[in-house]
């Protein structure tokens, strides 16, 4: 697969300080946007036009900010409590979807057409990507994602799962991680509607001038680590997003 770093679109330090990231993230397909008026579900659960309007307002008001430099991210989910924690580390970046399957095995059963069309309409209107797909790879990622430093972002969801995000800004690390996953076998585990909508939008006339439209925000896990996980991890929104209008690095 072709993996690239991206300029993360995320909540500003001021909003994080006032609300806390716990109140801002949202589970996939979640129906409850939470008490915080800035909860990300107020964008991801809205229709395309309303989501685009909210996104533009949040950017102008400084609720959301865009990083100056591209990066990849280590995304760690920890569940099971302090005595026997279950830790899963994922690599977050943007993955090319235009032109082919890009070496990624897709589920045999396609997503429902109406769900795919709703995701496509959202992508067309917002020109942004807020919900990562989950990919499995045979590349030896686990060792490369090990870190002991403090996370740049951290939140605990309603189920008690902790979400930690560590930004990777070093170009040499980008090259190393891109090389690890480049030729390894990979498969789509979760988010087929999001992935197929991204592939469709890449061929859309409206995407011709959007270099980011050829890519999909994805979280990538090592196959063995995902197989040993107690359950398929939920891809929470609110930690990462990317504007499709940004250049790809």
Closest CA to 231 of 91, 134, 116: 134
In the prediction, which pLDDT does 204 show? 86
Most confident of 80-84, 151-155, 157-161, 205-209: 151-155
Percentage, residues of the chain above pLDDT 70 = 96
In the prediction, which pLDDT does 231 show? 78
Q: What is the arithmetic mean of pLDDT over 105-118?
A: 90
Tokens 């409206």 -> residue? 206
pLDDT at 54 over 80: yes
- Rounded Cα gap, residues 131 and 44, in angstroms: 8
Mean pLDDT over the full length of the chain: 92
Closest CA to 187 of 121, 136, 244, 232: 136
Residues 6+ apart with CB under 8 A from 193: 111, 112, 115, 116, 119
**What are the tens digits of pLDDT across the range 56-73?**
999 999 999 999 999 999
**What are the tens digits of pLDDT across the range 187-218?**
999 999 999 999 999 988 888 889 899 999 99
- Rounded Cα gap, residues 170 and 83, in angstroms: 34
Is 63:24 a contact under the CB 8 Å cutoff?
Answer: no
The conformation of residue 240, written as its DSSP 8-state character, comes to -
Instruction: Report the predicted TM-score, pTM, of the whole model to 2 decimal places.
Output: 0.95
Tokens 């865009």 -> residue? 66
C-alpha dihedral sign at 172, 173, 178, 179: positive
Q: Helix 113-126 vs helix 48-60: angle between axes, to the nearest 10 degrees?
A: 30
């Amino acid at each position: 697969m072709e993996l690239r770093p991206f300029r993360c679109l995320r909540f500003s330090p001021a909003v994080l300080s006032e609300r806390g990231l716990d109140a801002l993230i949202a589970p996939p397909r979640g129906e409850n946007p939470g008490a915080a008026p800035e909860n990300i579900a107020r964008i991801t659960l809205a229709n395309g036009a309303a989501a685009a309007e909210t996104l533009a307002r949040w950017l102008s008001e400084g609720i959301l900010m865009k990083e100056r430099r591209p990066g990849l991210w280590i995304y760690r989910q920890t569940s099971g409590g302090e005595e026997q924690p279950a830790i899963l580390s994922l690599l977050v970046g943007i993955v090319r979807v235009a032109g082919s399957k890009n070496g990624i095995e897709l589920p045999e059963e396609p997503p429902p057409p109406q769900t795919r069309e709703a995701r496509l309409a959202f992508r067309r209107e917002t020109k942004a990507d807020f919900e990562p797909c989950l990919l499995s790879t045979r590349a030896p990622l686990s060792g490369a994602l090990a870190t002991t430093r403090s996370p740049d972002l951290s939140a605990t969801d309603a189920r008690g799962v902790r979400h930690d995000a560590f930004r990777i800004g070093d170009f040499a690390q980008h090259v190393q991680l891109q090389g690890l996953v480049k030729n390894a076998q990979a498969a789509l585990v979760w988010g087929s509607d999001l992935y197929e909508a991204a592939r469709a939008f890449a061929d859309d006339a409206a995407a011709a001038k959007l270099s980011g439209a050829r890519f999909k925000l994805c979280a990538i896990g090592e196959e063995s680590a995902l197989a040993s996980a107690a359950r398929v991890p939920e891809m929470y929104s609110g930690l990462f997003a990317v504007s499709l209008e940004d250049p790809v690095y």
